[in-house]
Amino acid sequence: MPSRRLPRTDEARERALTRAKDMNDSLDPADVFLSTGVVDRLDITQPDFAGKLLAKGAALSVQTAATVDTVSKKFTARNFLSHYFQVFNMGISRGVYTATQRGYFGIDVNSSVVPDMSTEEKIITVGNHVITGDPLRVAAGGAAMSNPATAEVTVAVNAFKAASINQSAKKLAFDLAQEAVAGLRAEVDSLILRLWNEIETFYSEEDPASKRRKAREWGVEYTDDESLYSLEGQVTDVSGIPLPEAEVLLVQTGTKVYTNTDGLYSVPAVAAGSYDVQVSKEHYHTQTIPQVQIVQGETTILNIQLLAMPGALQVMVYSEGLPLPEATVSIEALGLSQQTGDEGTVFWASINAGTYNVSASHPGKQPMTLPVTINPDQTSVLTFDLNNE
């Protein structure tokens, strides 16, 4: 025997209220059978709940975009700082800088290890030390840094800090939007229960099948059992390569599953309703697909493509075992070209993942071209040793 099933998701709640209000509004006033108190509650609660739910979805989309931006700028800032300290340590070994100058950056003067930047807070702390400490170091007679210059590092760190602040603000806005929806949920559930009771009472003299049919027109839902329905699909990168071990999360329920070696996933326990699906994988931008509809008795197929985070490239050019300044390093396919600094290095903080040919040249030296593979969210290192012509 079919039984009535109250909405389980906010989207289903909103549909139930909207359907009931549309049906009631379509009636001639003389035919309205809902109680005055219920109609008054419906006229107030339905637009309020629908508006708050819409605002929550918009806030989630804005937060997701801010998070993607923050992750990208975090990667760039971390790579600039990492390269900065690598070049600085190389300069110490060559006598360009002194080990005691490390103190301006708040690090052990005897340590040649790149500072720990495993968290956002540590990246910002290290970046602030460079921003405030390097001008003092140079003012005290230290040689200015180049490739990357302190100014480049400052731009990258400040961009990350601004993005992080913006992301926090957008997260707070989403949290407040969620709270606004949650604050109405008890009233909505109480109203739907009262609505459906009055609707079924009005049709109570009909035979059971007719009663359910007419009640469904008002949004009342019935089910033969408590079966849950499946969400399935595949997660790939933008080129279609399957991504194993990607996490698929249903935001509203907290349900998590992971893709297999073919990038396939299946969520076996999803009630009918609307869900925000968040897909994430290390070294890839997280993607959130809002309001995915799960329909009773059907399998919803959702395929997702994730965009790989960019990688970084550090190129070191030598000649006869010594760093070679003013060598030209270029990646023709990307239109990139840059000259090495005093340490013989070139650094690009953000390059899309892939394999590229990199060329190095210098007057009086034999040019050389080597392939390099840029991996997502990693720094690749390429070394040239140019011979005399």
Cβ atoms 280, 247 nearer than 8 A: yes
**Do residues 108 and 184 share a domain?**
yes
pTM to 2 decimal places: 0.68
The tally of domains found in the chain comes to 3
**Do residues 268 and 336 share a domain?**
no
Please enumerate in sequence order all residues whose Cβ is within 8 A of that of 19, keeping only pairs 6 or more positions apart, or say none: 218, 219
**Do residues 244 and 347 share a domain?**
no
Q: Please list the pLDDT of the chain residue by residue as tens digits (389 residues).
A: 577 878 877 888 999 999 999 999 999 999 999 999 999 999 999 999 999 999 988 998 898 888 888 888 998 999 999 999 999 998 998 899 999 999 999 999 998 999 999 889 999 999 999 999 999 999 999 999 988 899 999 999 999 999 999 999 998 998 899 899 989 999 999 999 999 999 999 999 999 899 999 999 999 988 765 445 578 899 998 878 899 999 999 988 888 899 998 899 988 777 778 899 999 998 888 999 998 888 776 778 899 999 888 889 999 999 988 899 999 999 999 999 999 988 899 999 889 888 999 999 999 999 999 999 998 888 899 999 999 88
| Chosen domain end from 253, 275, 308 | 308
**Do residues 219 and 268 share a domain?**
no
Distance CA 287, CA 301 (A): 16
| Chosen domain end from 203, 225, 247 | 225
Dihedral sign for Cα 145, 88, 106, 158, please.
Answer: positive
- CATH at residue 23: 1.20.58
**Do residues 336 and 286 share a domain?**
no
- CATH at residue 361: 2.60.40.1120
| Chosen domain end from 164, 193, 225 | 225
Q: CB-based burial of residue 318 (10 Å sphere; 0-12 exposed, 13-18 middle, 19+ buried)?
A: middle
Cβ atoms 301, 310 nearer than 8 A: no
**Do residues 185 and 60 share a domain?**
yes
**Do residues 121 and 202 share a domain?**
yes
**Do residues 138 and 47 share a domain?**
yes
**Do residues 166 and 58 share a domain?**
yes
Q: Hunting for tokens 């009631």 — which residue is that?
A: 24
User: How far is the CA of 16 from the CAs of 44, 104, 135, 203, 219, in angstroms?
Assistant: 14, 63, 63, 18, 5
Task: Tell me which residue range forms the domain holding 93.
Answer: 1-225
**Do residues 320 and 208 share a domain?**
no
